[in-house]
């Protein structure tokens, strides 16, 4: 009887994937724009490379795929999300919207594009970390209110993990612009390697949470 019980315990543990849930490597695609792609930086200094190193240092069995396209909008992300989620991808970081803001795109259109991405991930059984974006005030209070509400609304609606801001990790929620300069490239928009390191430190725990949700699909 003891041998039978031991076998049952082993069998159940194997089904559950061990104490931490599903066992095995997890692949996560980072769907984004130039901030994800690593614009202006050596290959090893970009967001995906630094986040991969951060995860490796913590023993996470995660492989990150760089699905960032410089200049991409949420419409571009919606158009390519299907082929970004290749069979091995179990998790998706969605970090899009900055270029929508630069172009003054209607927040309703941005919302619809992001919803297309989240629906596709939901249908594919892919876990999502949605990274928010905050609109500047120069488009007016109504535009800002409509845009800023998109990300928390959709995260709640689709049950995704949520991070308030990609760049917020550089200098906090209300940074003095002068404090940001040491962490930005010369264009004053894209983070340098030091800035990326701060972003990774802020988002890293969320990515670990995503890895926990993302079942291996190999």
What is the structure's pLDDT at 16?
36
Specify whether 70 is catalytic.
no
Classify 24-213 by CATH class: alpha beta
199: its two tokens = 């972003």
* pLDDT beyond 70 at 196: yes
What is the structure's pLDDT at 179?
77
Element (H, E) at 66: strand 62-68
Catalytic residue among 106, 148, 190, 209: 190
What is the structure's pLDDT at 170?
86
CA distance 28 to 210: 8
What is the structure's pLDDT at 169?
85
Catalytic residue among 70, 106, 187, 209: 187
Instruction: For residue 122, give the nearest of 151, 99, 94 by alpha carbon.
Output: 94
CA-to-CA separations, 68 to 34, 44, 90, in angstroms, rounded:
6, 15, 17
Report the number of secondary-structure helices (H) and strands (E) in the chain: 10, 5
Specify whether 34 is catalytic.
yes
Catalytic residue among 34, 72, 100, 165: 34
* Chain segment 39-60, per-residue pLDDT in tens: 999 989 999 999 999 999 999 9
């Amino acid at each position: 009887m003891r041998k039978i019980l031991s076998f049952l315990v082993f069998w159940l543990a194997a089904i559950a994937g061990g104490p931490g849930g599903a066992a095995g490597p997890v692949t996560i695609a980072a769907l984004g724009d130039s901030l994800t792609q690593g614009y202006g930086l050596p290959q090893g200094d970009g967001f995906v490379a630094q986040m991969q190193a951060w995860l490796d240092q913590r023993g996470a069995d995660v492989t990150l795929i760089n699905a960032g396209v410089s200049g991409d909008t949420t419409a571009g992300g919606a158009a390519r999300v299907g082929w970004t989620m290749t069979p091995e991808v179990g998790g998706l970081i969605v970090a899009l919207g900055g270029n929508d803001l630069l172009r003054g795109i209607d927040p309703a259109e941005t919302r619809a594009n992001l919803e297309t991405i989240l629906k596709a991930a939901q249908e594919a059984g892919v876990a999502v970390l949605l990274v928010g974006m905050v609109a500047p005030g120069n488009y007016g209070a109504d535009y800002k209110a409509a845009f800023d509400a998109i990300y928390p609304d959709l995260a709640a609606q689709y049950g995704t993990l949520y991070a308030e801001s990609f760049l917020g990790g550089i200098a906090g929620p209300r940074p003095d612009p002068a404090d940001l300069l040491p962490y930005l490239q010369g264009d004053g928009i894209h983070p340098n390697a030091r800035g990326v390191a701060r972003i990774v430190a802020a988002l890293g725990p969320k990515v670990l949470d995503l890895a926990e949700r993302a079942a291996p699909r190999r």
